[in-house]
Amino acid sequence: MTPPIRVLVVGPAPPGPTSRGGMATVIGHMAAITDPGIEVRLLTTYVDAPTAKRIRVGLAGMARGTVAVARGDADVLHVHLSHGGSVLRKAPLLWAARLRGVPAVVHGHSFDFGGWMARLPAPARSLVRAALPADHWLVLGAGLAVEYAAALRLDPARVEVLYNPVPPAALDASAPGPDGAARVEVLALGRLGVRKGSYDLISAIAELEPAVRDLLHVTLAGDGEVTQVRAAAEPLGAAVTVRDWAGPAERDELLAAAEVLALPSYDEGLPMALLEAMAAGLVPLTTPVGGIPEAVVDGRDGLLVPPGDVPALAAALTRLVEDPALRRRLSDGARARAADFDIAEWHDRLSALWTSLARR
């Protein structure tokens, strides 16, 4: 019997108390692959923890991974990459793979890789390009593929779009959201702060006509600038609730109670929170950045507004509050679109890629 292909997956820990966000969720989905011809081993190089612990985990993961690759314990190396420190943590493993002859995949999740590269001095850009030798690149959208290829001077043929997946549980559990409730529930999930448009959302709520605001309730749940966002929302009273990060069970409760997902970000890859909310039938109110416009078509399965355009965001909120038929139509469209991101096909594509690389 042919032994399974050993894939070493490197990045944040799977979702848990010390690992949050879309990249961790994707790694958890990767670990759940059921192909008997694939054996996935996870190697953690990042956790959400105080600086000292983050450094210890990063250095220990780098050392263990580099040794494992160098001694031939992996048939394929698959690293998940953001930018900044993520490059430093992954470079030793990628070079060990290059020297050992182990095929390597870089899975890009950065919300601003091209911008980050452009802000570096020219010598540092050259070092980054040299630090990331890989046989294949995966990115979260077609626009991002162009961005990564240009920033790193990659052959476009080596850069492939692989959208994030929606797990079966999210699709199976999707059902019509609240209808006819006293107020329209709007939910914002993730890291709170400027990049996610948290303050723009609060400003947009402040601009609403009082009669519209009375028919709306917004919950912002996440980490990051929680205290600052809560202070900004305080003048709006009961119209806005700001709370800390929601674990899986709490997140599912919030999704079940909401009708609209507000994600007015300035930069994104392809947010897992967006896809999971669409699968649950929430109407996405978001911005056309990163991979989002490849998942959401304005007026068909959500509403798109320019990032930073508070009046447009307020107008879109008003439309959704005042037009239940629009909410229902966009909700149906969002749920149907989410089905296109089913995780089974995602697993199949990963299996095919890893198998192809291992057989070279």
Each residue's pLDDT, cut to its tens digit, for the chain (360 residues) gives 789 999 999 999 988 888 888 899 999 999 999 999 999 999 999 998 899 999 999 999 999 999 999 999 999 999 999 999 999 999 999 999 999 999 999 999 998 899 999 999 999 999 999 999 999 999 999 999 999 999 999 999 999 999 999 986 555 554 444 555 579 999 999 899 999 999 999 999 999 999 999 999 999 999 999 999 999 999 999 999 999 988 888 888 999 999 999 999 999 999 999 999 999 999 999 999 999 999 999 999 999 999 999 999 999 999 999 999 999 999 999 999 999 999 999 999 999 999 999 997
Rounded CA separation 156/342 (Å): 26
Q: 79: closest CA among 48, 108, 106, 51?
A: 106
Q: What sign does the CA torsion over 176, 181, 184, 188 have?
A: negative
Rounded CA separation 181/329 (Å): 17
Q: Which helix (H) or strand (E) holds 203?
A: helix 198-207
Whole-model pTM? Answer: 0.89
For 74-173, where are the E strands, in sequence order? 76-81, 104-108, 136-139, 159-161
Give CB contacts under 8 A, 24+ apart, made by 114-119. 114/147, 114/148, 114/150, 114/151, 115/267, 116/83, 116/84, 117/83, 117/151, 117/152, 118/151
Half-sphere exposure of 22 (CA within 13 A, CB side): 24
Residue 319's φ and ψ, nearest 5 degrees, are -60, -45
Q: Which residue has the tokens 């990115």?
A: 139
Q: Which helix (H) or strand (E) holds 228?
A: helix 226-233
Q: How many residues does the chain have?
A: 360
Contacts (Cβ under 8 Å, ≥6 apart) of 288: 298, 304, 306
11: left (phi over 0), alpha (psi -120 to 50) or beta: left
What are the beta bridge partners of residue 304?
A: 286
What pLDDT, on a 0 to 100 scale, did the predictor assign at position 249?
Answer: 85
What pLDDT, on a 0 to 100 scale, did the predictor assign at position 182?
Answer: 73
Q: 304: closest CA among 261, 342, 240, 257?
A: 261
Pairing outcome for strands 260-263 and 303-304: unpaired
CA dihedral angle for residue 313, residue 316, residue 320, residue 325, rounded to 10 degrees:
-160
SS3 16: strand
Q: In what order do the strands lie in the sheet with 240-243?
A: 240-243, 216-221, 184-189, 260-263, 283-286, 303-304
User: Please, what are the domains in the chain?
Assistant: 5-165+342-358 (3.40.50.2000), 168-341 (3.40.50.2000)
